[in-house]
Amino acid sequence: MSDNSSVDLAALLCSRLCHDMLSPIGALNNGLELLADERDPEMRAKCMELLEQSARASADKLKFFRLAFGAAGGYGEMVEVDEPKAAISALIGENKRITVNWALAEGKLPKDAVKVLLNLAHIAIDALIRGGTLDIGAEMRDGASEIVVRASGSRLAFDEDIGRVLQGELAAGELTGRTAPAHMLYLLAEQAGGGLQYKVNDDTLVLGAVLPQPEGLIG
């Protein structure tokens, strides 16, 4: 990957991050403006509740994207699976329309596998605009991390360009902020000597990844 392509990908990932952070940060700003003008104690209490919710949502999204997009400094090469579980649960937040089922066979996963798991889950959550079920599984087998994420729900909203990017069928110059995370996953899988898969119909989206582990992590 050329230096220019790397810069472009980083810029697109930043655009996606800013897009996803706009809503909770905007709610914080609105809450502060309301609080400054409001004198009624009951309304002020509601403003404070709004601020607390928005601050929590902002912090949760930043924690998620730190692992999903960033270098995740502070973690070792292996990450406790409780970290991505907590990040995904927080990203879903109080959305009662999405039910999450976990099937994580390992206590720890390689950092890149965690990055892939989080981003595949993010793609699946985005597809569940009307709610549904999110099944997330991961295990290590034959020296590789195997990850499967399945979204099941009514009339899924899946951008086929994301699927094309996961398969390496879309040129880097055609990427957008929406498809850039999928390209990052494609590069991670390619670098590891693994691969990505997806299958979608009207009510089911299945995303998968196989990532050979670095030699130093194979037990």
Q: What is the pLDDT of residues 74-130, one digit of tens each?
A: 677 899 999 999 999 988 877 789 999 999 998 999 999 999 999 999 999 999 999
Over residues 211-218, mean pLDDT: 72
CA distance 84 to 63: 10
Mind listing the domains of the chain with CATH numbers? 3-217 (3.30.565.10)
Phi, psi of 116 (to 5 degrees): -65, -45
CB 96 within 8 A of CB 165: no
pTM, 2 dp: 0.86
Region 146-174: mean pLDDT is 91
Residue 72: strand, helix, or coil: coil
Rounded distance, CA 5 to CA 100, Å? 35
Residue 98's pLDDT is 94
Q: What is the structure's pLDDT at 52?
A: 86
Distance between CA atoms of residues 188 and 71, nearest Å: 13
Q: 216 falls in which pLDDT band (50, 70, 90)?
A: low
Residue (of 78, 122, 116) closest to 100 by Cα position: 122
pLDDT at residue 19 above 80?
yes
CA angle 14, 58, 104 (to 5 degrees): 85
pLDDT at res. 123: 96
157: number of Cβ within 10 Å: 11
- Does residue 146 surpass a pLDDT of 60? yes
**Contact criterion met (CB below 8 Å) for 210 and 146:** yes
| pLDDT reported for residue 215 | 64
Residue 5 is predicted with a pLDDT of 74
pLDDT the model gives residue 102: 96
- Predicted pLDDT of residue 139: 95
